[in-house]
Amino acid sequence: MVPRRLTQLYAGLTLYGVSGSFILLSGLGNDPWDVLHQGLARQTPIGTGTWVCLVGAIVLLGWIPLRQRPGLGTISNVIVIGLVVDVMLAMFGQAHAMPERVALLLSGIVLNGVATGMYIGARYGPGPRDGLMTGLAARGLSIRSVRTGIEVTVLLIGALLGGTVGLGTLLYAVTIGPLAHVFIPAFTVAEPQPAY
């Protein structure tokens, strides 16, 4: 059971980095957090993937007052996704032809939903951004309002810093919830049942 969960965790995190890179390379609009990461990269000599790692670590510090406990998946999320993004962006250039850009965007969004299901379903802990959301929601706020508030805030900051906002941003926003709703249960590894 553990080897399967670990394989699924790291496959999911790697796929998450690949899918995020597809969306970035499409140039049609990033998910809100990648708008922030890309905006920070455009204002500094630090790459987008490195900003994924740095922002994840900073968000993780926000868990302390919320008394959230990181798991292996949480720490791995901070490291693996950003490294994969940096490798992908170094290997491939921005797409130019519209059919290629649309294909990258659509496949990136769907694969992001699959990747989310895989890494969360491995049950090694949520990513820093998801843990911040659940930690704030545990204080009596609705998950919907917390998630919306966080996403809108990082989107606005990222846009002001020069991150790419576009049709892909909107498409991601309206599809990632339904995709996660399908893929998280599909990939959730069942808890072992005690033997009687």
Q: Global pTM?
A: 0.88
Q: What does the pLDDT look like over 8-53, one tens digit per residue?
A: 999 999 999 999 999 999 999 999 999 999 999 999 999 999 999 9
Q: What is the 3-state secondary structure (H, E, C) of the chain?
A: CHHHHHHHHHHHHHHHHHHHHHHHHHCCCCCHHHHHHHHHHHHCCCCHHHHHHHHHHHHHHCHHHHCCCCCHHHHHHHHHHHHHHHHHHHHCCCCCCHHHHHHHHHHHHHHHHHHHHHHHHCCCCCCHHHHHHHHHHCCCCCHHHHHHHHHHHHHHHHHHCCCCCCHHHHHHHHHHHHHHHHHHHHHCCCCCCCCC
